[in-house]
Chain A
Amino acid sequence: MTTESAAAADPAVERRLHLLTPLRRAWVPIAATVGVVVQQADQVQRWASGLSVTLRALVLLALVVVFGVYGFLSWWFTHYAVTDTELRIRSGLLFRRTAHIRLDRIQAIDVTRPLLARVAGVAKLRLDVIGTEDKDELAFLDEREAVALRAELLARAAGFAPAEAVVLGEAPQEVLLRVGPRDLAVSLLLTLSAWGALAAGLGVPVAVWWFSGNHWATIATMLPMLGGLWSGTVGRFLGEFDWRVAESPDGLRLDHGLLDRAHETVPPGRVQTVRIVEPLLWRRRGWVRVELAVAGSKNEVLVPVASREAAQAVVARVLPGVELAGLAFGRSPKTGSRWVVPVWWRGYALAVSADVFAVRKGLLCRRTEIVPHAKVQSVRLTQGPWERVQGLADVHVDTGANGTVTARLRPAAGAAELLDAQAARSRTSRADARPDRWMT
């Protein structure tokens, strides 16, 4: 499609990003220059001391102008346009790049507002498209514009007519679940891995100091551990603060974050796998964490913490017709399994319903992985020599989000049947799955 015909079809063609964008773009060369200066500090100092004050000021000014012009030009040459079938992003000063993003292949759209951007009233729009590694971003847009654009893209992806899509605006939403700060904090305190990280973060540096007596070695081991501890506890708290799950016609909306607000949208029918995690200390409270896998998307968490009933209600929207409590899990047989995976064999279980293939594993932290039959790409059966002696086999189910769900230690005869039956189920259940354009 040429630009002219697109212009004829669409009045709102070739838009530019927000005026503040150059500031952000200019950071890249500035950071690079600062890096060079810091690295070559001696030489720079020697060179600068040979210059007069006015000359120094001039050099600084020249640098600012160069960076400013770079930022301005890269902003000037970045355009985006929405057509009937695709979103086009043209960018690049020296190396021109045009990204054509097919609307019906969009897996998720996120609006994120980092802290500084929130202050400035701008937002970033990120698109998850299947099969691409680096995500295409529109940064920055005016906040209202970003929300409107997301609504328009989703409406068009859903199959509404272009004129209608612009007018429709944001689809109405209904809040399904909210996670309070108290529940979130308690859930993080009840996570064993956080305490493990804390123990390691304190214990290992002390041990290093004890044995080596070297301060630098101690600090060098402490910093990455503290970083890990931070991201696992405080970082997670900040990121998952005020987590809201809402339902709207164009999918599930996830809003979260204390400093950086993120607004994610997962269109219906895009979820490949749902994982329900039950850490040991949460089980008494009946809490679960729900994670999901969407092809080509970085979004992982659906619900950071919720009661089992509340999580069930959310999962029912993602996988219609799935009753978590109704899944009848069958454990691996005791006789053979105990010799293949001692003790932990008790954690393995499998349930197959009309809609999903569900696998449970883990004793302390119990994970349940659920794959709708329609999302299964291929089915595999593997059997090692020791498993064959014990009459067992593993069945793997591969999904499009580069994930594999494995039902371990099934009875061999049953596994062969399961392989055939699963292949047939995943083939036929596609026929009554939702269309890609879910509103048509």
Chain B
Amino acid sequence: METGTTGGTGRPEWVGLPGGLLRLRRLLLVIWAVPLAVGTALLLGLTAGPGWAAAGAVWLVALVWGWVVLGRNWRSWRYAERADDLLISRGVLWRAQTVVPYGRMQLVEVTSGPLERRFGLASVQLHTAAAATDAKIPGLVPAEAQRLRDRLTELGEARSAGL
């Protein structure tokens, strides 16, 4: 007794996030880490001796590590629109996968903060009657976010169910 076409339900076609979000996050990382490294190196180099200036490299190590972690985290985010539900999968160490049937959606929200707007990004958030539903797709291209919102709203209406 399937309510939708079964074709799309079997194998999800995963879609990753566009690169904008990764660029934004890495840029923020660099903006924070480089001045911190320079500041630490200068402070210690001037007060404790030139040898201590090497301690600033700790921030550079953190930068490299953060660079890799951000990349892995960004790659782990993916979503799939199936015939009857939306799948969102994310996380590297702590993995999580969320399935939201379209019929359960109460509202779809497209948000875009000032930084996100600067980088041409938008997030889509799905709300159901359950507050625990954490269905958010960050860092989409605005056009894709709007397409997704319209499609989800349309599918939600078609398959709408009560509480």
Interface residues of A (CB under 8 A from B): 130, 295, 375-385, 388, 396, 398-400, 402-404, 419-420, 422-424, 426-428, 430-431, 433, 436
Contacts and interface: CB of A to CB of B under 8 A. Distances in A.
Contact of B3 (A400, A431, A436): A431
A385 B163 contact: no
Interface in B73-108: 84-85, 93-101, 103-104
B97 A427 contact: no
B97 A378 contact: no
A396 B95 contact: no
A380 B99 contact: yes
A402 B130 contact: yes
Nearest to A430: B161
A11 to B, nearest CB: 31
Contacts of B163: 130, 295, 375, 400
Among all A-B residue pairs, the 10 with the closest Cβ atoms: A398-B130, A400-B129, A377-B130, A377-B128, A423-B99, A378-B133, A430-B161, A398-B132, A427-B101, A381-B97
A400 B105 CA distance: 11
Interface of B: 1-3, 9, 84-85, 93-101, 103-104, 128-135, 159, 161-163
A234 to B, nearest CB: 34
Nearest to A104: B162
10 contacts: A375-B163, A377-B128, A380-B99, A382-B95, A382-B97, A384-B94, A385-B93, A419-B97, A424-B9, A430-B162
Nearest to B10: A420
A388 B130 contact: no
A382 B90 CA distance: 10
A427 B103 contact: yes
A321 B55 CA distance: 68
A402 B98 contact: no
Contact of B130 (A382, A399, A423, A436): A399
Contact of A428 (B1, B97, B104, B130): B1
A378 B93 contact: no
Nearest to A385: B93
Given A377-B129, A404-B130, A426 B97 contact: no
Contacts of B1: 428, 431
A402 B93 contact: no
B85 A427 contact: yes
A380 B130 contact: no
A295 B3 CA distance: 25
A235 B108 CA distance: 44
Contact of A382 (B2, B94, B129): B94
A380 B101 contact: no
Contact of B133 (A381, A398, A431): A398
A379 B98 contact: yes
Given A427-B84, A428-B2, A428-B3, A381 B130 contact: no
